[in-house]
Amino acid sequence: MVCQSLAVALISLEYWWVGIASYALSHYVHIGWWKRHHIRQHLVPLAIVFGIPILVLPACLDFNPDQWVAPVLTHASLAAQYIAIYPAFQAISPTLEILDWLRKTKSASEEQILAACRERSPVGDRIRDLENGGLIVRQSNGFELSIRGRLLAQIFIRYRALLGLSLGAG
Amino acid sequence: MKLYALATLFLLPIWILFWHAILSRFTRHRWPRQKTAIYASLSAVMVCSFIILVFERHFDPTLLAFTLVIALSLGHVYFHFFNMGETARRIRLLTKLATKQTWTDGSYDETQMIRTRLQRLVDLRQIDFDGFRYSTRPTLLRWAARNIASYREILFPRSR
């Protein structure tokens, strides 16, 4: 009976576009905040700027699920896809740097590309990111994974195994 | 929109995962991995969107727009999750540690990492290599790289 009721339950799409507007507003706030402050820890500020509308939208739409579900889901989907590509903005990607650098220079030898990439994005910066994010802990003889780092690594290891692929080359 | 149609839509990353797992076993020796991931994501987005419209049994521009926005966003999320596992140095460093390969600051081979990326770009036909020099091609990824660099200047104005 409950399953039957859920199966025919309807979600209104009347205000779904409000989710696009709320995402655009969050993005505007995000840009303004990042421009004014030097952000070191990215996860919490991102969660705040894109997460608050998810809590506020139901109140703006009279807490009527028929009205707020679609805009909240729209906002959440758009926010998720932005956060998925955010690392490409936050950290300099050697792949994108190669492409942009080749666009300016038209052509280059491997040695020239290696020299340019090492200068622009040393791997030490990525290690520092992992430390700042609490994913690795510096020890006397190197690094160790934190609990969060171990969990994240296992997610990717098992995911790659599910796809039948070896681990990414980085 | 019916609740079960909405649930089907939001389970799209799971559908893509299953489809990608099947497709990658057939294409892993023929196609670059990102190409397989892109095909898996896009085809699953199209099929899922079509199934949603069939579930609803009527065509409505609002329903189509909502379905496409959500489906494309979730497909995009899936692709970037895969790409992170494939290309991100931070993930590579974490998995090296997790698989008991210890490293210190200097032992991650940056030269090999850059060579891997160059080969990947050649395989994906994003750049050309004539045996001596690499050269650029007018591609969508090159356009994205330029815009990402410009956007980074806006977000992090002190980075240079």
A144 in contact with B at a CB cutoff of 8 Å? yes
CB A34 to CB B89 under 8 A? no
- Chain A residues near residue B91 by CB distance under 8 angstroms: 152-153, 156, 168, 170
Give the CA distances from residue A156 to residues A86, B6, B42, B117, B138, in Å, rounded to whole numbers and listed in that order. 18, 28, 22, 20, 32
Q: What is the mean pLDDT of chain B?
A: 87
C-beta of residue B95 within 8 angstroms of C-beta of residue B44: no
Task: Judge whether residue A4 has pLDDT over 60.
Answer: no
Residue A96 in this model has a pLDDT that exceeds 60: yes
pLDDT higher than threshold 70 for residue B125: yes
| Half-sphere CA count of A109, side-chain side, radius 13 A | 4
Q: Can you give the pLDDT at residue A8?
A: 57
Gap between the Cα atoms of B90 and B95, Å rounded = 9
A87/B73 Cβ within 8 A: no
Give the nearest partner residue to A100 out of B62, B93, B146, using CB atoms: B146
Across the interface, whether the CB atoms of A89 and B115 are under 8 A apart is answered: no
| Cβ <8 Å between A126 and B10 | no
Q: pLDDT class for A66, splitting at 50, 70, 90?
A: confident
Q: Is the pLDDT of residue B141 over 80?
A: yes
Distance from CA of B47 to the nearest CA of A (A): 19
For chain B, the maximum distance between any two Cα atoms, rounded to a whole number of angstroms, is 60
In angstroms, what CA-CA distances link A151 with A62, A148, A155, B86? 39, 5, 6, 17
pLDDT digits (tens, 9 = 90+) for A113-135: 888 877 666 667 788 888 888 88
Q: How confident is the model at residue A7 (pLDDT cuts 50, 70, 90)?
A: low
Q: How confident is the model at residue B37 (pLDDT cuts 50, 70, 90)?
A: very high
What's the pLDDT score for residue B44? 95
Q: What percent of chain B has pLDDT over 90?
A: 41
Q: Give pLDDT, residue B87.
A: 86
Angle between helical axes of A147-163 and B61-87 (0-180°, round to 10): 110
Do the Cβ atoms of B33 and A165 come within 8 Å? yes
- Among A54-58, A59-63, A75-79, B98-102, the range of highest mean pLDDT: A75-79
CB–CB contact B127 A35 (8 Å):
no
Where is mean pLDDT largest: A66-75, A105-114, B11-20, B127-136? Answer: B11-20
CA distances from B82 to A71, B71, B75 (A): 27, 17, 11
Q: State percent of chain A over pLDDT 90.
A: 39
Q: Which residues of B touch A108 (CB under 8 A)?
A: 133-134
Q: Where are the beta strands (DSSP E) in A12-161?
A: 107-109, 136-139, 142-145
Mean pLDDT for chain A overall? 85
- The lowest-confidence range among A12-16, A24-28, A33-37, A126-130 is A126-130
Residues of B in contact with A106 (CB under 8 A): 135-136
More confident of the two residues B94 and B19: B19
Compare A167 and A157 and report the one with higher pLDDT. A157
What mean pLDDT comes out for the span B105-109? 55
Q: Does ipTM top 0.85?
A: no
* pLDDT reported for residue B158: 62
| Beta carbons of B68 and B49 less than 8 angstroms apart | yes
The stretches of chain B forming alpha helices (DSSP H) are: 3-10, 12-27, 33-56, 61-87, 89-98, 110-123, 140-155
Residue A27's nearest CA partner among A53, A55, A6 is A53
The burial class, CB within 10 Å (0-12 / 13-18 / 19+), for A74 is buried
Per-residue pLDDT tens digits for B46-94: 999 999 988 888 778 899 999 999 999 999 999 999 998 888 888 888 8
B160 pLDDT more than 50:
no
What distance in Å separates the CA atoms of residue B58 and residue B67, rounded to the nearest whole number?
Answer: 13
Q: Looking at beta carbons, which pairs linking B133-137 to residues 24 or more positions away fall under 8 Å?
A: B133/A107, B133/A108, B133/A109, B134/A98, B134/A102, B134/A107, B134/A108, B134/A109, B134/A110, B134/A113, B135/A102, B135/A106, B135/A107, B136/A99, B136/A102, B136/A103, B136/A106, B136/A107
Q: Give burial (CB, 10 Å; 0-12/13-18/19+) of A15.
A: buried
- pLDDT value at residue A52: 93
- Grouping H, G, I as helix, E, B as strand and the rest as coil, residue A74 is helix
**Percent above pLDDT 70 for chain A:** 91
